[in-house]
Amino acid sequence: MSGEEETAAIFDLARNRTLDEQPPHPGRDGPRLPKRFYKEAAAGETPDGYTILLDGRAVKTPSKQVLAVPHAALARAMAAEWAGQGEYIDPRSMWLTKLANTALDLVKPRRAAVVAEIVNFAGTDLLCYRAEAPAALVARQAAEWDPLLEWVAAHGIRLKVTTGIVHVAQDEAALAAYGRALERLDHFRLAALHNAVTLTGSAVIGLALLERRLDVAAAIAAAHLDETWQMEISGRDAEEEARLARRRAELGETGRFLDLLTDVT
């Protein structure tokens, strides 16, 4: 297998699934990781932008196209992911490369479907389903979530709020307005938004992270307000804390990906 085929096969192992869906790290019962087959990783230029060079050869995506990104800063950060691999290559540790692969292979050719998936999250957005009690939790949800709903409402995205878990149908005009907000996004930003929305369960939180209305810590806090409340009442839950840590890590890299898309150095 050539180096180009190696890189494509490696990322077929982990296209862009959230950490909670990733297979376990290698071991007796885990998948074997491929051995590192290159000595040096560096950023380089291509006709379509910037890429990663492994011993001088451009990395390709799982669909066999050159992994080209629009900014040198992002290419350098991705090259650092490859350079940082040890004896074995673990694609699950290469967040930026995974997002770029996803943007090129899965988002760009099916943009309308990806936009529809994100808009569907707005139709059942986490922030629209509130607790009926206790009063302190109701107040915390209002304090944390209402400002975000007011923020998107100012952009014409007026979402209805209900209590309990019974579905409330959102107005088509609100969902259409959310969809229009995505029209200006390129496939790289759309991939990052899709990842953020999937991780948080909220199209509003995802858009707020994209627009830098929220930083990563605030986005995680808003998305997991209910779980945090429950742990405060019932005590620490090691499994839940580990899950939140994994999501925080991936959302952090998603935020970093967005930052690098605006870095033109």
Domain residue ranges of the chain, discontinuous segments joined by +:
3-94, 109-261
Please tell us whether the domain made up of 3-94 is placed in CATH 3.20.20.140. Answer: no
Check for a shared fold between 3-94 and 109-261.
no
Interacting residues of 76 by C-beta distance below 8 A, sequence separation 6+: 43
Arithmetic mean of pLDDT over the chain: 89
Give the model's pLDDT for residue 140: 98
Q: What is the pLDDT of residue 69?
A: 98
Q: What is the pLDDT of residue 5?
A: 57
Predicted local confidence at residue 8, as pLDDT: 54
Alpha-carbon gap, residue 259 to 160, rounded angstroms: 31
Rounded to whole angstroms, how far apart are CA atoms 109 and 96?
A: 19
For 109-261, the fitting CATH number among 1.10.3580.10, 3.60.110.10, 1.20.1730.10, 3.50.50.60 is 1.10.3580.10
Positions in the chain whose pLDDT score sits under 50: 13-30
Give the model's pLDDT for residue 1: 52
pLDDT in tens, 177-202: 999 999 999 999 999 999 999 999 99
The amino acid at 110: R
